[in-house]
Amino acid sequence: MSFKGLQPIVYRGREVWPLIEGGKGVSATNHTSSGAWAAAGGIGTVSAVNADSYDAEGKIIPQIYEQLTRRERHEQLIRYAIDGGVEQVKRAYDIAGGKGAININVLWEMGGAQTVLEGILEQTRGLVTGVTCGAGMPYKLAEIAARHDVAYLPIISSARAFRALWKRAYSKVADLMAAVVYEDPWLAGGHNGLSNAEDPTKPEDPFPRVKALRDTMRAEGIADSVPIVMAGGVWFLREWQDWIDNPELGSIAFQFGTRPLLTQESPIPQGWKDRLRTLEPGDVLLHRFSPTGFYSSAVRNPFLRNLEARSERQIPYSRVEAGAHTVQLDVGVKGKNFWVAPADLQRARTWAAEGFTEALRTPDDTVIFVTPEERNTIREDQAACMGCLSHCGFSSWKDYDDYTTGRLADPRSFCIQKTLQDIAHGDDVERNLMFAGHAAYRFKQDPFYSNNFTPTVKELVDRILTGD
């Protein structure tokens, strides 16, 4: 069957292809890629998550934190984020040349999200068409959009989440809601909205979930002309023919997050691009190690495997002898107030003999065993926290009130700002978090990329419009 094709849509007065570039932070989507996507007639998306800014010579300004306190470092992070976001938007707008549209994307759970978003919008009036926002419940997104006269496109993973947002806030600013992005939690890369009621090991068909979202939107009086954007797992549009012009679903657009990573304009380092070409089915893992507390998907490289192993070297304990905890832990800890089960004591001794001699407490009354070097790195990263999240499980940072979550810092997680900055700026892709969608293995299978071909963004968008 030949591909039926897509029709342009009107987005805030602009005729664009219903193709959205997924915003990817830190610095995996920037002005070069988003400007080119807009120039090709689509909706380019600048990531406003701690974006890069540049010196007078055009070199990236390193984001260095020399302040003594977390709060001061957090304030510096916000300054970096606003400066970088403004610079990226202005450059993307220039590259677009009046074509397509430029959106910005923010992670609602990032530290100072509202301050950063408003700071960027205040300095880029007339340049930004809309804001996509997910990873949390961004109730304030609509009122922020209204203050700055931009569209907003909430990112959700269920009809239930959208209904809550609509009832509480979005219904009051209905005219600026340009689309609703359904981000499939089992298919999309990066953070997602998988709930505790859903099984991460049992993917659900996206069609009924998107149909339920449309039904919810209709019940709230939202016109079918407001698109639902399918995000996650989209590769060949011909595989989604039944979604296009389907009266059950209403207007549909598509978001591409993974495919734009492998373009000439993509800002990610060459080593990251090369690694994408090697992936096999199953190489992307849906996991819950992120300090945000959300599920997310990334390449199961040595960095992620180390986090898996760290959590596997874990045993429960109590401070007094109780129940199955009848023996005292004698490796990895100082003091005698660690009571464990006899079998767990033997496991702990085995790990210690293998070099994992340091036991670190978690918020869940367990201890994990790591090497002395790993312990030092964990403690250094926790101490150097710059407050990049609104709530951080790894460091116990919180970006308001008393600036602490009140929970024990969790050594089973990691400093997400450090690793995302490192991989985006050329560090070893095997030693850092490498976000990717679950369809990334198709780079190796798709003949479009054979012989190490790397398309321009324009070539990619033209290819997508053919159905491939």
And the tokens for 130? 């809309």
Average pLDDT, the chain: 96
What mean pLDDT comes out for the span 396-425?
96
Helix, strand and coil content of the chain, in percent to the nearest 5, comes to 35, 20, 45
- Is the confidence at residue 2, as pLDDT, over 80? no
Does 125 have pLDDT greater than 80?
Answer: yes
Separation of alpha carbons 86 and 203, rounded Å:
38
pLDDT in tens, 197-234: 899 999 999 999 999 999 999 999 999 999 999 999 99
* Vertex 48 angle, CA 189 and 81, to 5°: 130
The average pLDDT across 194-198 equals 88
Edge-to-edge strand list for the sheet holding 296-299:
190-191, 296-299, 284-287
The answer to whether the beta carbons of residues 44 and 101 sit under 8 Å apart is yes
- Under DSSP, is residue 322 helix (H, G, I), strand (E, B) or coil? strand
Q: Which residue has the tokens 């670190």?
A: 360
User: From the centroid of its chain, how far is CA 254?
Assistant: 17
Give CA–CA dist 128/90, Å, rounded. Answer: 9
- pLDDT confidence of residue 195: 86
| pLDDT band (50, 70, 90) for residue 1 | low
Dihedral sign, Cα of residue 362, residue 367, residue 370, residue 376: positive
> pLDDT tens for residues 81-116?
999 999 999 999 999 999 999 999 999 999 999 999
Q: Are 162 and 213 in contact (CB under 8 A)?
A: yes
Provide the pLDDT confidence category of residue 336 given band limits of 50, 70 and 90. confident
CB 294 within 8 A of CB 193: yes
Percentage of the chain lying above the pLDDT 90 cut: 96
CA distance 339 to 216: 51
- CA dihedral 206→212→217→220, nearest 10 degrees, is -160
Judge whether residue 377 has pLDDT over 70.
yes
3-class DSSP state of 219 = helix
Q: Is the dihedral of CA 231, 232, 237, 239 positive or negative?
A: negative
